Amino acid sequence: MTTITPDVRAALIAAAEQQLVASPDGDIATRAVCEAVGVTQPVLYRLFGDKNGLLDALADDGLRRYAEHKAAQPKTGDPVADLVAGWDDHIDFGRRNPALYQLMFAPRPRSHARARRQIMDLLEASLLRCAAVGALRVSPNAAAQLILPANVGLVLSCIAQPELFDDPQLSDRTRDAVFAAVLTAPAAETAENPLAAAALRLRSQLAVSGTDALEPAEAALLDRWLERLTQVRLAAPPAAAATADG
């Protein structure tokens, strides 16, 4: 009887990835995966439940490697430049790992893989740094909800139909158009709502660096106040009054 160990689990995931990469239709066969590792199918089912569970585990393993790669990237003093580099790096990851990327991001029935949620978290962390220097015109979450679908959609389109999306500048143009909708000049004085912009910047800076000046309850209350201020729409200044006795 096979002893189920982390090494067996890792070997099954690696065998599944090898089969996925070689598959013309992006599918795997559990029997072939088990044969490659030298275990019976019940071992696979005890570990992963079914083939879908194995694919989820492979997608999450791809995420782990992607996250480790991201964590190893040096952060510069320019969070906007780092955000641009992050977009380009995401595109490059998809081009280098097309089968794994499709598994991680293409909708799949009954999938419980965590890849998209956790990569959204990585993106929001980068956007939080942008907000902390006043370079973000919306909240990190709102910006991430625009950037990630655009980034993922572009990669999936290029993988699925490379002959249709063959413009070498397509990624740069897409990136610049999306970023223009969420980024602004750092600490811009021309913000449409300077109070909301200042509150967003302070809230993001506190989230990045924290502070020892406040008790936890005080910090939580301040965060709540700043959150409300970021949502304020200041009334337009009243029009100049007509001259009296006009």
pTM: 0.73
Q: How confident is the model at residue 233 (pLDDT cuts 50, 70, 90)?
A: low
What is the C-alpha to C-alpha distance for residues 144 and 97, in angstroms, rounded to an integer? 23
What is the C-alpha to C-alpha distance for residues 129 and 127, in angstroms, rounded to an integer? 5
The residue among 217, 208, 31, 35 whose CA lies nearest residue 132 is 208
Q: Is the pLDDT at 124 greater than 70, yes or no?
A: yes
pLDDT, position 170: 97
What is the C-alpha to C-alpha distance for residues 170 and 206, in angstroms, rounded to an integer? 36
Q: 101 near 92, Cβ under 8 Å?
A: no
What is the tens place of the pLDDT at every residue in 72-117? Answer: 888 898 999 999 999 999 999 999 999 999 999 888 877 777 777 8
φ, ψ for residue 172, nearest 5 deg? -65, -45
% residues pLDDT > 70 (the chain): 90
Tokens for 210? 């924290």
Q: How confident is the model at residue 238 (pLDDT cuts 50, 70, 90)?
A: very low
What is the tens place of the pLDDT at every residue in 38-64? Answer: 999 999 999 999 999 999 999 999 988
State the average pLDDT over residues 31-39: 96
Q: How confident is the model at residue 210 (pLDDT cuts 50, 70, 90)?
A: confident
Q: Is the pLDDT at 209 greater than 90, yes or no?
A: no
What is the C-alpha to C-alpha distance for residues 124 and 141, in angstroms, rounded to an integer? 6
106 vs 243, more confident: 106
Q: Is the pLDDT at 13 greater than 90, yes or no?
A: yes
Tokens for 61? 């393993």
Residue 124: how many other CB atoms lie within 10 Å: 18
Residue 63: how many other CB atoms lie within 10 Å: 20
Mean pLDDT of the chain: 87
Tokens for 133? 């220097």
Q: How confident is the model at residue 126 (pLDDT cuts 50, 70, 90)?
A: very high
Q: How confident is the model at residue 183 (pLDDT cuts 50, 70, 90)?
A: very high
% residues pLDDT > 90 (the chain): 54
pLDDT, position 47: 96
